[in-house]
Amino acid sequence: MNKTYYIKFINELKQEILNSRLKAAKLVNKELLILYYTIGKRISLEIHQEGWGAKVIETISNDLQKKLPGLRGFSSTNLKYMKQFYEAYAFLEVDNSVLSFTPKKLKNEQISQSMTDQFVTSVHGVSRGTPTKKSEQFLTDFSELISKVSFTHHCKIIASTTSFETRLFYIKESVENAWSVATLEYHLETKLYKKKGSLQNNFKVALPASISDQAIQAFRDEYLLDFVNIQNPKHIDERVIEQSIVNNIKQFLLSLGKEFTFMGNQYCIKVGDQEFFIDLLFYHRGLQSLIAFELKSGKFTPEYAGKMSFYLNALNNQMKLSHENPSIGIILCKQKNSAIVEYSFADNTRPIGVGTYKFTKTLPQKLKKYLPPAKALIDVLREAEVEYTITPIKNTHE
């Protein structure tokens, strides 16, 4: 054996392995998604074409384990997820020649009629999710995005949403903002899709046209502050809300979005010989604007808009740099009347938005029937306190 040739041969093999690992690391997510999609498709079609029962998935999982001892990731639960994954995106197909997802070609080479008919039922009774007329490029873009988030991301999105548009929104946001699964779950729970861009504001007339749409999309109509512990909802202390936000600033920033930077609370600005304090001050890198937040414990009143305009004037004159855009004010109240907000915006040249907040998620209606009213629970707890109060033992030696 030629030793020199052999060493060269080993080095070449080593390089092949290293190159393959690098390629695998880049393509592993795409390859896994294609594998899961393909398996999901096979299971879905067999169940509907052959009339297999629902329990067959557990049997398939057990038999796979027998054929491939130690196989992980193919439990009956995961196989069900794979089936759902295929059925949610059955308007796509796998192109094995380039290892990617591509839009499935329809018989008439066109996408169906309107985006509202997003899911059609196939002859097998499976929801096929064929997106309708938006352009083939739209579907091509989606087929490229689908490989950029993990299978777990897809499972969470599919389980929490039903419309194609909503799913596309969360996939796109996950890719653009590099959301972890935990971050995605938070935004699914708080229904970001419905609330993003819905803040009542005057941005269209008060901000440069180049950033007004972006500013609208940067905020939402309602914020969930479930980390705030309010003992008595009827008597809310604004400072308690503010301090809770500061103590949980990471979670609050998560609810705002990735481009917000926290600058401080009770941020002092001096006008004349007086000091004024902004509840929360942020900077938005994308908008290149200072963002002032004011927290109010009750209903919105017109005076709040006037005070915010004053703060924005001071920020623009004292802090805004020459290349930056005008400062933006966000007023968060417990409640608001849309008509009063609109009248408050009239002739106001400063960009202001008014939103609301809540402290807890609403209990689903289907669960309410299983739980007693809050008052009944409080009464039970009070009775328990009385029952288990320990009576001090009297010292007989005194």
- Cα 11 to Cα 13: distance, rounded to the nearest angstrom: 5
The pLDDT of residue 32 is: 87
- Cα 214 to Cα 207: distance, rounded to the nearest angstrom: 10
pLDDT exceeds cutoff 60 at 124:
no
pLDDT exceeds cutoff 70 at 25:
no
pLDDT exceeds cutoff 50 at 388:
no
User: Around Cβ 89, how many Cβ atoms within 10 Å?
Assistant: 25
CA 175 vs CA 15, 187, 197: distances in Å: 32, 14, 19
- Cα 102 to Cα 90: distance, rounded to the nearest angstrom: 11
pLDDT band of 128, cuts 50, 70, 90: very low
CA 115 vs CA 120, 128, 158, 163: distances in Å: 12, 14, 18, 10
pLDDT band of 114, cuts 50, 70, 90: very low
Residues 267-284 have pLDDT tens digits of 999 999 999 999 999 999
- Look up tokens 């920033």; give the residue: 253
Dihedral (C-alpha) 225, 227, 229, 230: value to the nearest 10 degrees? 0
Contact 133, 90 (CB under 8 A): no
Would the CA dihedral through 356, 361, 366, 372 be positive or negative?
Answer: negative
Share of the chain above pLDDT 90, in %: 35
Q: SS3 for 354?
A: strand
Buried-exposed string 205-239: b where 16+ CB fall within 10 A, e elsewhere? ebbeeebbebbbebbbbebbbbebebeeeeebeee
User: Around Cβ 175, how many Cβ atoms within 10 Å?
Assistant: 16
pLDDT exceeds cutoff 60 at 148:
yes
Q: Which domains does the chain have, with CATH numbers?
A: 3-194 (no CATH), 198-358 (3.40.1350.10)
Phi, psi of 362 (to 5 degrees): -70, 135
Dihedral (C-alpha) 135, 139, 142, 146: value to the nearest 10 degrees? 180
Q: Where are the beta strands (DSSP E) in 16-122?
A: 92-95, 100-103
Residue type, 213: D
Residues 166-184 have pLDDT tens digits of 998 999 989 888 888 988 9
Helices (H), strands (E): how many in the chain?
Answer: 16, 9
User: Which tokens hold the place of 296?
Assistant: 């109010």
Q: Rounded mean pLDDT of 53-65?
A: 85
- Look up tokens 């819905």; give the residue: 198
- Cα 259 to Cα 255: distance, rounded to the nearest angstrom: 11
- Look up tokens 């623009």; give the residue: 316
Residues 196-236 have pLDDT tens digits of 888 899 999 999 999 999 999 889 888 878 777 766 666 67
Phi, psi of 144 (to 5 degrees): -80, -35
* DSSP classification of residue 320: -
